[in-house]
Structures are given as C-alpha cells and as structure tokens.
C-alpha cells in the first residue's frame, strides 16, 4: 500500500508540463519528446529567435534527492564543456522555484531505435562497420575532453541525412569520477564505469542491435549471437573484444583501427 501511494505521488508531482507553458518567459513548451527516470524532455519554441529547442526538465521528485540534483549538475557541466557539431549545444539553464531545466539545440533526425522499429531499416555487416566508425569519431573527441557518455544505446544515437549525432548526456561523467557500481548486474557495471571501456562495451551492444535488424531466425532454439548472426571472423572477434569476452580495448583508437581494417578489406575486394 505504501508503494502504491508513492507511485500516485510521483505521478501527480511528475506530470509533464502542458503545451504553451513558458520557461524563463522565453521557451514555449510544445510537446513531450521523451520521459526518462530522471527527466522529461520537451520540444519547445524559442520565442526570441523563433527556433525549435529541446527543454529537459529534472523530474520534481528527483529534485528532492541528492542523486537527482547531482545528475542535473553533471549534465549541465558536461554539455557546457562539449563543443562538437554532432552533439547538442547547451543554450540556457533555469534553476529556480519554477524547476530545473536544461535548454539545448534540437536535432531533427531519426534515432536508430526509430529507424529499426518504426521504419524497419535492416543493417548488414558492412553498414554496421561504417556506422560504428562514424560514431567513434564523435565519441573519441568526447574521450579526449575527459568525458564518457555511458549510455550509448539506439535511442541516443541518431542520423540526420548521413550525419551521426549523439544525444542525452544524463548519465555522462568525467573520466575517473567516483561512481557507485556495486549492486548492479554485470552488464550495468560495464556500462556505468567512468572509463572509456564503458562506451566501448555499450557500442558492442549497439552493433548487435543493428546486426539483429536483418536477422531472420531459422530455428526455435535460442543460440548465442555468434552462431545466429554468422558474421565474418574479423567482426566477430572485434565485437567479442568490445564486450570484454576476449580481452578489451584500451581506447577508441585501437577499436577504430580494427574496424577500418575490415572496411578497407571490403573496399579492396569490391575494386578487385
């Protein structure tokens, strides 16, 4: 019963803002884009410039928790440090009795979650290698700035035409920061550590999501991804290393080198 009342309280306190609400007398809420455990994200209009922006609100219930406020401050600081054309730019911040909001660029594209599940895109091995190389270019620059994303999943990587963008830095941290990972299952521990390996590990799972988009089961018996996907030995070895099944990658540079080797090998075969 206590849990039930807490759920009702969270529902009442964390209801999304209505259309037309103004943030800082400037940003007019249009609609909800997404709802996460810590925040609610909206599409809004900057009335001063006439442009579309993203407004991310820290849930009211999370404002009362040290962990929630810490996550908000981290995201604000990290976005302020990043200056990359394929990452949303921090535009404004509101911290007042009205709430805690981060305002950033709106990237009007399709996430890989949209592309796979709504638009039914199917990705082959050579497609995935090229996509990974593009993602790594962005992530490597973040690592050079001392930042790990820690949430590189298909909803947080999107495309605009042929350009890759990385969004949602709610779980991002500075490399080496103290972060509690005890008590999490193994996969969560790998993804939540504040090391470059957390992003490499996440990209391994991202790659498998893309590859499974073109998988057609021919048996009811569940098998390992290695036996189901039937990838080239080179890519299989790379993904196993990304997932830390056979060693691990120390940095993105070595991962990029191995993927580029596969891409170059494919190019030479086509030109032969």
Please give the positions annotated as active site: 151
Torsion of CA 80, 86, 92, 95, to 10 degrees: -70
Task: Return d(Cα 44, Cα 48) in angstroms, integer.
Answer: 12
With tokens 């054309």, the residue in question is: 85
56 is in an annotated binding site: yes
Decide: helix, strand or coil at residue 224: coil
Residue whose C-alpha is closest to residue 192's, from 245, 251, 228, 151 = 151
- Residues forming beta bridges with residue 99, ordered by sequence position: 96
Cβ-Cβ contacts under 8 Å for 260 (sequence gap 6 or more):
133
Neighbours of 248 (CB within 10 A): 17
CA atoms within 13 A on the CB side of 153: 12
Q: What tokens appear for 161 in the block?
A: 């035409």
Q: End-to-end distance of the chain based on CA atoms, in angstroms?
A: 70
Task: Return d(Cα 88, Cα 212) in angstroms, integer.
Answer: 29
- Residues forming beta bridges with residue 228, ordered by sequence position: none
Q: Write the DSSP symbol of residue 156.
A: G
């Amino acid at each position: 019963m206590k849990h039930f009342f807490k759920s009702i309280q969270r529902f009442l306190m964390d209801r999304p803002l209505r259309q037309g609400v103004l943030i800082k007398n400037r940003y007019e809420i249009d609609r909800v884009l997404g709802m996460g455990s810590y925040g609610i994200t909206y599409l809004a209009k900057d009335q001063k410039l006439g442009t579309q922006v993203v407004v991310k609100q820290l849930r009211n219930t999370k404002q009362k928790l040290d962990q929630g406020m810490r996550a908000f401050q981290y995201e604000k600081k990290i976005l302020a440090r990043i200056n990359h054309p394929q990452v949303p730019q921090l535009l404004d911040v509101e911290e007042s009795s009205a709430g805690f909001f981060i305002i950033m660029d709106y990237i009007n594209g399709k996430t890989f979650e949209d592309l796979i599940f709504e638009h039914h895109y199917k990705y082959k091995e050579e497609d995935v290698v090229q996509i990974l190389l593009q993602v790594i270019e962005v992530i490597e620059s973040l690592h050079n700035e001392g930042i790990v994303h820690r949430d590189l999943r298909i909803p947080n990587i999107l495309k605009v035409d042929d350009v890759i963008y990385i969004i949602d830095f709610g779980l991002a941290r500075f490399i080496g920061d103290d972060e509690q990972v005890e008590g999490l299952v193994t996969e969560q521990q790998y993804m939540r550590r504040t090391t470059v390996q957390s992003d490499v590990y996440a990209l391994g799972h991202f790659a498998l999501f893309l590859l499974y988009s073109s998988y057609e089961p021919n048996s009811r018996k569940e098998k390992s991804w290695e036996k189901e996907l039937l990838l080239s030995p080179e890519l299989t070895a790379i993904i196993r290393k990304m997932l830390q099944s056979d060693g691990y990658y120390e940095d993105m540079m070595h991962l990029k080198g191995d993927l580029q080797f596969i891409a170059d090998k494919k190019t030479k075969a086509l030109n032969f």
